[in-house]
Chain A
Amino acid sequence: MWTVMLKEIKELLRDRKTLFFMVALPILVFPLIIGLVMFMAGKAVDKAENKVLDYAVVGAQYAPALVEELAASELFNQVAIDDGADVTAFVKSEQADFVLVIPENFSDDALASGQIELSLYLNDAGLNMVHRRLDKIVDTFADASQQKAFATLGLDESQQAALVEPIVITKVNVADKRENWGEKIGGMFPYLIFMLCLQGAMIPATDLGAGEKERGTLETLLISPIERHKLVLGKFFTIALAGATSALITVSSIAIWGLVLGQSMALEVVSEFMSAINPIDFVLMFLMLVPIVAIFSAVLLSLSIYARSFKEAQGYMTPLVFVVIVPVVLAMLPGVELKGGWAWVPLTNVALAIKELIKGTMDYFQLFAIFSSTAVIAGALLYFCVFWFNKEKVLFR
């Protein structure tokens, strides 16, 4: 068995294509892509913030002070609009980025005018900063009007606050920071790891099963005096190791890049969060992944040995990605918790447990259900794999 495994690993390590997908991709390419996307997004926001916007005002005569303030802003550029023109059409034809319509009742005396409603016409589909910039200017007028009204009514500060918001609900969150963050990112984490394990195991699995058939080495291997189950186990462990390594490399890469990037942003949050999860939890996460990787490897090897060629094997394996997504997405649904029945659902239970471990709210008794259900399934699949490797119909298709 070890002979088979060592040879398979040696062969894998010499395969540049596999190594590229397993090592280079997660370490360099993914962070590079993510970095590039972030850079481009930052640029787009920057551009939107600094862009000088064309605008027009209808009813300017009702609020000369406001209009003057708008005209004074460097980020706005006023264009003319005819009286009685169709405002919607004006904006749609891109003659201005936005049009502000000021009503007749605009005044600085809120008590006399009642609520004033400004209409802002704009194309809100894309990224824009119109509302935010306009708010800044309009708010000063609104505040002034409010203060004036308060003064007229002769209200003290507490009355003022009560008038603005008569009843306030103050939220006291008993969840600590870790639980809070864990809930948010804990769902994504297993999803990522599962996919990476599967992806990392897929290429070697194709090579070790269908590849042997395609290159014509399978027959010679089958007639060597090694028992079939040892042959299967050798291949199985190679695939599992590749899947786990690939996932481990990717996760470490994410962690390291996260720290590097975090240095410039919010390092404390990241490191505080990471240190809150104790080492035993990390070990548990890894241990739970072992049967998961075993399940993936057994299924992939069975599919691969059934296939006649690389191409056929890839065709069988691609749908597997969707099969794996379902139980993981189930774990992300609100209300699905690591209790009762859900603790026995394979893949879902491990996804839930990883989330719980990250949150720090793990019910350790559930580990029994998780390990037994996952291990039983992994064992059964492995048994099937050995059975499959003994079928002439599968080997000599």
Chain B
Amino acid sequence: MIEISKLAKKFTVENPKKLSEQEKKDPRLKGKFFHSVQDVSFYCESGEVLGLLGPNGAGKTTTLRMLSTALTPDSGEIVINGTNVVKKPVVARQMIGFLSGSTGLYGRLTGRENIAYFGQLHGMSADKIEHKIEELADILDMRTFLDRRCENFSTGMKQKTAIARAVVHEPKVVILDEPTTGLDIMAAQTVLDFIRRLKDQGVPVIFSTHHLDEVAELCDRVTVIHHGRTHFADSFEQFKAQVPGSLHQSFMHVINQGV
């Protein structure tokens, strides 16, 4: 169970002259600060998959970064299974598996070493890491490239390794930031299958995406944010019912509706 309420985060604008025209028109720009996330709230029960939707620059990545403890929110609360993430980030990190869209691997290490390194950082024993890697290699079909250096991996191989790395410590919550962006259909399917597997195991998954068909395939809940505010947070059925017959129209409707 993960619960987020009234999350807000602002960034200092170092050089206002460098902002694009679009950014200057953004209502979130107030004086020297850019209020990237202003009011985001949603929750996700165990065994549920939550799809986080929103246009580019809506504040999705910032929200997920706060969830993952990489950024500290200015206000608001994040609670995972009763643990306050903002107050106890180091404890919370043990429970979170995070994969960002722009994530990379250490090119000079093999796939196995990459995964094992993060297992070690999570304080796992060598035996347990070994065991977990074997398990993940089967699930994600990584046997053929696991012991090669990552620098020559294809995008799909990299993404599989990155997923394995994100869940090596058996997290209580998995957060994925645009996990299928830039992948071919086969690799994307592997990612989606993996999310489904987590769901079956009762692990809540939060992932951001631009593909509504993925949302239709997997999500129990949908949250739409726009200009750093939650515009919609309810079940997938409710989202679908906004404009019957078209998810795209539902999305546009929610965006235009206002808070």
Contacts and interface: CB of A to CB of B under 8 A. Distances in A.
Chains A and B are bound partners: yes
Nearest to A15: B108
A222 B165 CA distance: 14
Interface of A: 3-4, 7, 10-11, 14-15, 215-217, 219-227, 392-393, 395-396
B104 A225 contact: no
Nearest to B177: A219
B106 A224 contact: no
A215 B105 contact: yes
A14 B122 contact: no
Interface stretch (B50-58, B64-72, B226-234): B64-72
B93 A224 contact: yes
Interface in B101-136: 102-109, 113, 117-118, 120-123
A393 B166 CA distance: 25
B43 interface: no
B71 A215 contact: no
B71 A396 contact: yes
Contact of A227 (B90, B99, B166): B90
Nearest to B69: A223
B42 interface: no
A222 B122 contact: no
A239 to B, nearest CB: 16
A226 B121 contact: yes
A364 B14 CA distance: 50
A11 B98 CA distance: 23
A17 to B, nearest CB: 11
A15 B91 CA distance: 34
A187 B44 CA distance: 68
Given A223-B68, A223-B70, A216 B103 contact: yes
B93 A223 contact: yes
A14 B107 CA distance: 10
A224 B68 CA distance: 9
Q: Which 4 pairs show the lowest CB-CB distances between chains A and B?
A: A216-B104, A215-B104, A225-B93, A224-B121
B70 A11 contact: no
Contacts of B122: 224-225
Interface of B: 12, 65, 68-72, 90-91, 93-94, 96, 98-100, 102-109, 113, 117-118, 120-123, 149, 165-166
A197 to B, nearest CB: 24
5 contacts: A4-B121, A215-B106, A217-B103, A223-B70, A223-B93
A223 B65 CA distance: 9
B93 A220 contact: no
A179 B121 CA distance: 53
B106 A216 contact: no
A215 B107 contact: yes
Contacts of A217: 103-106
Contacts of B113: 7, 10
Contacts of B65: 219, 396
Given A225-B90, A226-B121, 18 more contacts: A4-B121, A11-B108, A14-B109, A215-B104, A215-B107, A217-B104, A219-B65, A219-B68, A219-B70, A219-B98, A220-B103, A222-B70, A223-B96, A223-B98, A224-B118, A225-B91, A225-B123, A227-B90
Find the residue from B96, B107, B113, B121 having the highest chain A CB count within 10 A: B121
Nearest to B165: A220
Given A224-B118, A225-B123, A227-B90, A392 B106 contact: no
A392 B72 CA distance: 8
Contact of B100 (A4, A220, A226, A395): A220
A11 B103 contact: no
Contacts of B100: 216, 219-220
